[in-house]
Chains A and B, each alone.
Chain A
């Protein structure tokens, strides 16, 4: 399965594992065994140069750092009309850019609690999305 609404890259071993876990609602990052740096999204190599990285399960809860509504999509996204793109800061400090659904632009605020959920968009594609936290869960 391919990650994203559109993709122009081959699926590697790292992506296969990431996507497989995503199907089971697990958001996986990588951690460097040498220097301890954590990466979400995951990387096969650390910025310190080490290739000795291990998987860890990242937090799926956080808050909105910033957002926008894309009213003029690129050609590859033209069938999606307008959509909201946001950056969330998760509880473990990692940041993720994704589309945000389940809330109108009017209701959106910086700092709003959100969660990361998995959503298959077609038989061959899956994405992670940000959704407002259920009031009960806050």
Chain B
């Protein structure tokens, strides 16, 4: 059985409104560069794990085999993984498990989602039905509304300001403008974000992530194969996961995501590190308040000081812990199933010193944090060079 599991290939499709391609073609756009990067043939893949969140978005029941077959892996094992917005990270976790257990030596993990073919009200509707369909969805609760409920609670308890929320958006758009794969590559001003249309009070348009199409792929390999394929494998050294109550109203505390705290503790323990060892992180900023809570719940700052953390630019390159310097979900986009895999791609790039203008110099330990729904699912991965 392999000691370590390495990332030997990464690929990323352009995120955005991609009605020029189908689901399978979009997945192919991410898989091809991953194979080239790993310098392997598709026949070297032992199994695939496919992350697609919604069959309504895919317009295809059981889409995993569609992707697996299209990219030409042949009659190898394939299955689909789903954990709402954290589907991609759940797929990476499943891929890691296959390699670690010895069931496979080389696993292709693909995350893909096509969302923009539905209009925004319809897409909001599909996502809203990921909430409790008996006790919360029937009252008109949407995902922006769940995070807005947390934002008001956080602002009330800790004095987090409307301006601090917008500062997260300004940062993520600044870095997204440097990411050629991002859905929206343009900087925005604090004034513009503050003035944008209200979606769910206190969250406005620029507090909310984008509805996007996209795909990302990574190739995981056993230690022996990883060293053979790659001169610079990045190792997945800590995996932590947790969950929380289905109903938001049942949560003990609405100013934190308990699943994040638990998943992070587990990932740090497995990797043998603490939060201060993390050189670069990508966190789940589906809404700006989510990034502020993530700073706190992952331990990058004290509880309640997330607002101050962004205000002091501690999450910029040059700050204490650079966060979402790929643009985050906010500017890169959030094609549900692709997001977690895209996070793994970004951290791998950072640890290989391949992130260009967005490079965090000398980064050796990275972290990805992917939340499903409003904290119902959470996956934290720790990576090292």
Contact = CB atoms under 8 A, between A and B. Distances in A.
Interface of A: 3-9, 15, 41, 65-78, 80, 83, 85-87, 95-99, 105, 110, 127
B250 A95 contact: yes
Contacts of B200: 68-72
B143 to A, nearest CB: 9
B288 to A, nearest CB: 14
A99 to B, nearest CB: 5
A70 B156 contact: no
Contacts of B141: 70, 85, 97
A77 B149 CA distance: 19
Contact of A6 (B137, B201, B249): B137
B318 interface: no
B249 A74 contact: no
User: Which interface residue of A15, A68, A86 has the most chain B CB atoms within 10 A?
Assistant: A68
A43 to B, nearest CB: 10
B254 A72 contact: no
Interface stretch (B48-56, B124-132, B233-241, B353-361): B124-132
A75 to B, nearest CB: 4
List the 8 shortest-distance A-B pairs measured between CB atoms, nearest first.
Answer: A4-B138, A68-B148, A74-B125, A75-B125, A69-B201, A66-B153, A97-B249, A75-B121
22 contacts: A4-B137, A5-B139, A5-B140, A6-B140, A41-B134, A66-B156, A67-B152, A68-B201, A70-B200, A71-B198, A72-B124, A72-B199, A73-B121, A75-B125, A77-B140, A85-B141, A86-B149, A95-B249, A97-B136, A97-B141, A127-B138, A127-B139
Interface in B106-137: 120-122, 124-125, 128-129, 133-137
Given A72-B200, A97-B139, A87 B124 contact: no
Contacts of B198: 69, 71
A99 B198 CA distance: 18
B153 A70 contact: no
B325 to A, nearest CB: 29
Contacts of B122: 75
Contacts of B339: none
Interface of B: 120-122, 124-125, 128-129, 133-142, 144-145, 148-153, 156, 197-203, 247-250, 254
User: Which interface residue of B128, B133, B145, B200 has the most chain A CB atoms within 10 A?
Assistant: B145
Contacts of B137: 4, 6
A72 B249 CA distance: 21
B209 to A, nearest CB: 14
Contacts, number: 110
Contacts of A73: 121, 124, 140, 142
User: Which interface residue of B134, B144, B153, B198 has the most chain A CB atoms within 10 A?
Assistant: B134
B142 A70 contact: yes
Contact of A96 (B129, B134, B144, B249): B249
Contact of A87 (B197, B202, B248): B248
Given A66-B156, A68-B201, A97-B247, A74 B139 contact: no
Contacts of B133: 7-9
A95 B200 CA distance: 21
Contacts of B138: 3-7, 127
Contact of A68 (B129, B134, B145, B249): B145
Nearest to B143: A74
B140 A65 contact: no
A66 B145 contact: no
A87 B150 CA distance: 10
A60 to B, nearest CB: 15
A78 B140 CA distance: 10
Nearest to A12: B134
Contact of B140 (A3, A9, A87, A99): A99
Contacts of A5: 138-140
B149 A67 contact: yes
Given A66-B254, A68-B201, A74 B142 contact: yes
B137 to A, nearest CB: 7
A65 B148 contact: no
User: Which interface residue of B125, B139, B197 has the most chain A CB atoms within 10 A?
Assistant: B139
Contacts of A3: 134, 138
Contacts of A86: 149
